[in-house]
Amino acid sequence: MSTLATELDHLKNHVTYPANKAAVVAACNGMADAPKEDSAWFAKNLPDGNYRNAEDVMRALLARV
């Protein structure tokens, strides 16, 4: 599985929603198979807020690209 697919799967299946930024970042920092650069970018670029589901997180990140 690609790194992106692994990270998206993690957002969908390993984060308990609803979640705020801190909860999402904390859950994602537990991903040992994600490159450190990806984790750092994620933490820096995910806006503060509350997320109802993985799609909300993805939309917020896509708006930053």
**Per residue of the chain (65 residues), what is the pLDDT tens digit?**
577 888 888 899 889 999 999 999 888 766 666 778 888 888 899 999 999 999 999 999 999 88
Phi, psi of 62 (to 5 degrees): -60, -35
Can you name the residues that pair with 12 across neighbouring β-strands? none
In this prediction, residue 30 carries a pLDDT of: 62
In this prediction, residue 22 carries a pLDDT of: 94
**Distance in angstroms (rounded) separating the CA atoms of residues 62 and 56:** 10
- Structure-token pair, residue 52: 């109802």
In this prediction, residue 32 carries a pLDDT of: 66
**Distance in angstroms (rounded) separating the CA atoms of residues 60 and 55:** 9
